[in-house]
């Protein structure tokens, strides 16, 4: 629950009795009235914008292009190009909802997606979408070595699956993603796909400061043309309110601690279990057991028993605002490699203000008490203690 309920938001112009209490705005008001949400003017405005798009999309079902089984070739794509473009011109603009973390963007997206009267729709974390896109491109190239352009058939397949794509946590960190986004989204829009996205980053700031950004600017211009921009300027960070109310360090590692971490993950994400995901780091894939809405959960062995390094931990720290970590053992010379990796992980989390919820065999200052490395670990223990403070938990995540 995001907070104490106040009076429901009054009905405003733009909603009609014919809508019969349907749509994201009505769902939002119902949650406020029930006390599940605290009334927030910025959220109410975003719900109105989503309601308007919901209204324009009712029954939206552009004819999908069937994926080309045999590759098709340039000539077949030329002959079907005109109707595809016409479908794209008829599509309404989507919506790009930007705001700081914890302002309710994902919650509003959920309300919109659940209510959307679109036969083919898909809601997906943007990072997972791009992983799937790269996998499908690779598979296409293997099956069609003489076809140099996998983007049109990829867009055909995606558009056949969904006329409405809802992306959570739209963010671009990877040059491999940046290289294909412009052409892929241009092709999707041409096929009538409508996009709704939530992000912590305004379109103009995507991929900012990264090598090769000049080649990425046409994609930004395309997003600004095909998606209406709405800044969600809510005053309260509901996510930080939730984590500030949670104990974050649980000892010892036992069934009670595991249940506490289960509860924390559910409280922060709204689901009991996340989905597996992988991060692309220097051409490698780093697998994460489960993640959802910016929260990742893994056990100590998966992160510090594996051969991971600073770049891997940096990727984790920039992609996720919270880490739920199971089973931190006592450390010492006998498991020094794991201790060293744990120090590097904590440094990355701390520098990017990632919130840590963990189970451990001891309190931070008792994790590594004796032997070579114990003095060095004192700095890490100090950081782990600070990361439990209300002051640290109130800090915004740095991507």
Residues 6+ apart with CB under 8 A from 92: 53, 56, 57, 60, 194
Q: Say if residue 134 is in the same domain as residue 53.
A: yes
Residue given tokens 């506490």 in the structure block: 260
Q: Say if residue 201 is in the same domain as residue 67.
A: yes
Q: Say if residue 200 is in the same domain as residue 108.
A: yes
Query: How many structural domains does the chain have?
Result: 2
Q: Say if residue 168 is in the same domain as residue 21.
A: yes
Question: Could you tell me what percentage of the chain is helix, strand and coil, using 3-state DSSP and rounding each to the nearest 5?
Answer: 50, 15, 35
Give strand ranges (E) for 41-117: 94-98
Q: Say if residue 24 is in the same domain as residue 118.
A: yes
**Contact predicate 150/182, CB 8 Å:** no
**Contact predicate 271/262, CB 8 Å:** no
Report d(CA 126, CA 129) in Å as an integer. Answer: 5
Report d(CA 164, CA 66) in Å as an integer. Answer: 17
Q: Say if residue 192 is in the same domain as residue 111.
A: yes
- Domain assignment of residue 257, yes or no: yes
Q: Say if residue 87 is in the same domain as residue 204.
A: yes
Cross-strand bridge partners of residue 279: 286
- Domain assignment of residue 4, yes or no: no
CA angle 283, 106, 303 (to 5 degrees): 35
- Provide the token pair at 57: 């999309």
Last residue of a domain, one of 205, 231, 257: 231
- pLDDT at residue number 235: 60
Q: Say if residue 261 is in the same domain as residue 206.
A: no
Last residue of a domain, one of 202, 231, 260: 231
Q: Say if residue 270 is in the same domain as residue 138.
A: no
Closest residue by Cα to residue 389 from 360, 347, 362, 355: 355
What is the enclosing helix (H) or strand (E) of 255?
helix 255-269
- pLDDT at residue number 79: 37
Domain of residue 337, residue span:
238-393
- Domain assignment of residue 283, yes or no: yes
Report d(CA 156, CA 89) in Å as an integer. Answer: 17
- Domain assignment of residue 363, yes or no: yes
- pLDDT at residue number 89: 44
Q: Say if residue 219 is in the same domain as residue 311.
A: no
Number of H-type helices and E-type strands within the chain: 16, 11
Last residue of a domain, one of 212, 231, 250: 231
- Domain assignment of residue 155, yes or no: yes
Q: Reduced to 3 states, what is the DSSP secondary structure of residue 341? A: helix
CATH code of residue 99: 3.40.50.300
Q: Say if residue 274 is in the same domain as residue 213.
A: no
- Domain assignment of residue 107, yes or no: yes
Closest residue by Cα to residue 320 from 285, 382, 359, 278: 278
- The DSSP output letter for 396 is P
Q: Say if residue 22 is in the same domain as residue 106.
A: yes
- Domain assignment of residue 35, yes or no: yes
Q: 176: how many CB neighbours lie within 10 A of its CB? A: 13
For the chain, report the end-to-end CA distance as a whole number of angstroms.
26
Q: 306: how many CB neighbours lie within 10 A of its CB? A: 13
**Contact predicate 32/4, CB 8 Å:** no
This prediction has a pTM of 0.60
- Domain assignment of residue 9, yes or no: no
Q: Would strands 227-231 and 164-168 be described as parallel, antiparallel, or unpaired?
A: unpaired
Per-residue pLDDT of the chain (399 residues; tens, 9 = 90+): 333 333 233 333 334 434 545 899 999 999 888 887 788 888 899 999 999 999 999 999 998 754 444 444 433 443 344 444 444 447 899 999 998 766 788 889 889 999 999 999 999 878 778 878 888 888 888 888 777 789 999 999 999 999 999 998 788 877 778 888 889 999 999 999 999 999 888 899 888 888 888 888 889 999 999 999 999 876 665 555 566 667 899 999 999 999 999 999 998 888 899 989 888 887 788 999 999 888 999 999 999 999 999 889 999 998 899 999 999 999 999 999 999 999 999 999 998 999 999 999 999 999 998 888 888 898 899 999 989 888 888 888 887
What is the enclosing helix (H) or strand (E) of 94?
strand 94-98
- The DSSP output letter for 244 is H
Give strand ranges (E) for the chain: 94-98, 121-125, 164-168, 194-199, 227-231, 249-250, 275-281, 284-292, 295-299, 322-328, 355-360
């Amino acid at each position: 629950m995001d907070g104490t309920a106040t009076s429901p938001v009054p009905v405003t112009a733009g909603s009609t009795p014919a809508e019969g209490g349907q749509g994201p705005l009505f769902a939002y008001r119902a949650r406020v009235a029930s006390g599940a949400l605290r009334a927030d003017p910025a959220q109410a405005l975003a719900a109105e914008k989503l309601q308007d798009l919901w209204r324009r999309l009712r029954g939206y079902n552009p004819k999908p292009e069937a994926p080309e089984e045999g590759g098709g070739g340039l000539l077949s794509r030329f002959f079907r190009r005109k109707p595809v473009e016409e479908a794209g011109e008829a599509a309404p603009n989507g919506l790009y909802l930007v705001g700081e973390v914890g302002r309710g963007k994902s919650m509003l997206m959920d309300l919109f997606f659940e209510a959307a009267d679109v036969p083919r729709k898909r809601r997906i974390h943007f990072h997972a979408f791009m992983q799937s896109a790269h996998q499908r491109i690779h598979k296409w190239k293997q099956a069609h070595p003489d076809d140099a352009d996998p983007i049109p058939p990829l867009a055909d397949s995606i558009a056949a699956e969904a006329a409405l794509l809802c992306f959570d946590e739209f963010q671009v960190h990877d040059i491999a993603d940046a290289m294909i986004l412009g052409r892929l989204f241009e092709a999707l829009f041409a096929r009538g796909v409508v996009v709704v996205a939530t992000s912590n980053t305004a379109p103009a700031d995507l991929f900012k400061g990264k090598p090769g950004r000049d080649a990425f600017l046409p994609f930004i211009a395309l997003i600004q043309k095909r998606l209406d921009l709405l800044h969600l300027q809510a005053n309260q960070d509901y996510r930080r309110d939730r984590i500030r109310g949670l104990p974050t360090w649980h000892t010892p590692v036992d069934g009670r601690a595991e249940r506490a971490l289960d509860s924390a993950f559910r409280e922060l994400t709204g689901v009991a279990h996340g989905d597996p995901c992988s991060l692309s780091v220097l051409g490698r894939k780093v697998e994460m057991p489960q993640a959802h809405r910016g929260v990742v959960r893994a056990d100590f062995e998966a992160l510090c028993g594996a051969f991971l390094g600073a770049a891997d931990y940096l990727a984790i720290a920039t992609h996720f605002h919270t880490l739920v970590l199971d089973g931190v053992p006592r450390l010492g010379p006998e498991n020094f490699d794991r201790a060293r990796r744990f120090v590097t992980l904590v440094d990355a989390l701390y520098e990017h203000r990632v919130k840590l919820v963990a189970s451990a065999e001891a309190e931070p200052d008792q994790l590594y008490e004796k032997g070579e490395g114990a003095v060095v670990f004192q700095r890490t223990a100090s950081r782990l203690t600070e990361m439990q403070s209300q002051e640290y938990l109130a800090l915004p995540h740095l991507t």
